[in-house]
Amino acid sequence: MRAGVLVAAAVAAVVASASPAGAGPAPADRAAAGTVVGSGTPASCTSRAVVKAVAQGGLITFDCGPAPVTIAMKRTAKVVNTSASVVLDGGGKVTLSGEGRRRILYMNTCDKAQVWTTSHCNDQAEPRLVVKRMRFADGDASREDEGGGAIFVRGGQLKILDSTFVDNRCVRTGPDVGGGAVRVFDQHRDRPVVVKRSTFTGGRCSNGSALSSIGVSWRVVDSTFTDNKAVGRGANPSRPGSPGGGSGGAIYMDGDDIHLVLEGSTMTGNRAREGGGAIFFVSNDRSGTLTIRGSRLEDNPSDGFETIPGIFFLGAERTITDSVVR
């Protein structure tokens, strides 16, 4: 063994022997372990703890006792843009509630208040936000300009896994506002937002009462959309004398080179006051595509207009295989 290696080993041994027993993992190890919200009881799982954990970033898990728990959010949890990733894993037992008063979760890489890290804030790779095995209920962005009652995202990357969204809200009128549950602007390198094995129900917003985006693509797999309603009036652009909105009962997409893949999913009982009871899709430069595979879309009335039952599509190509659309 070389002398330098012997010296390094000796120093390491001295440092290890100087550390008190039970001192816990080194800082790097603690970071890898992430943050645990709660200490084993429902009362220990607080809004303040969630807000702090999201601001710190990394993996966030919950220890709120053995039974399902609802955490009433007194403030919106906001991602700080210096975080490489933020992963909320509720283990299938945690509901974050906006109490019908506020948005629940927010990430915006172009918001200087959350630290502006690059000059191309709308196309940076990080933070990567993942929500998994979570439930979001009663989020409300009706006082916000851009929607996203449960989750608002601009920039970075978003993934939603095994999660449930119930009774989330945003502004009830307006031609471009949307996202009763989730609203997204921009994603790194125009990669799609991924949604898997998730459920969206009871959303209400001017447009896109489950999912809404401008200039963003989506890949939605094995997910369910029921009883979501686009309640605006006047479409987009707004008819004279109307406030605008009312399209995309469940999903609203607008932009240029945008793409939606819907696979193994169910959309039933959604409704739009104007166009697209289930899906409203407009590719402004007509380059966007809609692909539906192995899915069932039934009873999604469009009170105003549609190209096929429950869908208004304006783009390059629409492909539907092994699916029911009626």
Domain carrying residue 123: 27-325
Looking at residue 190, which CATH number applies to its domain? 2.160.20
Confidence of residue 34 (pLDDT cuts 50, 70, 90): confident
Name the more confident of 224 and 1. 224
Q: Is residue 277 part of a domain?
A: yes
Residue 204 lies in a domain: yes
State the pLDDT at residue 10. 34
User: Three-state DSSP class for 27?
Assistant: helix
pLDDT of amino acid 18:
35
Residue 94 has pLDDT above 60, yes or no: yes
Residue 17 lies in a domain: no
DSSP E strand boundaries for 138-258: 140-141, 151-154, 157-161, 164-166, 169-170, 182-185, 193-196, 199-201, 204-205, 211-214, 218-221, 224-226, 229-230, 251-255
316, part of any domain? yes
Alpha-helical runs (H) found in the chain: 3-18, 27-33, 47-56
pLDDT greater than 80 at residue 33: no
In a domain, 5, yes or no: no
Both tokens of residue 283? 């590719």
C-alpha–C-alpha distance, residues 260 and 26, integer Å: 44
- Note whether residue 18 is domain-resident: no
Sheet holding 279-283, edge to edge: 77-78, 105-108, 151-154, 182-185, 211-214, 251-255, 279-283, 311-314
pLDDT tens string 269-297: 999 999 999 999 999 999 999 999 999 99
7 has a pLDDT exceeding 60: no
The pLDDT, as a whole number, for residue 15 is 30
Does residue 115 form part of some domain?
A: yes
Q: What is the pLDDT of residue 145?
A: 82
User: What percent of the chain is modeled with pLDDT above 70?
Assistant: 90
The answer to whether position 3 is within a domain reads no
- When divided into structural domains, the chain yields a total of 1
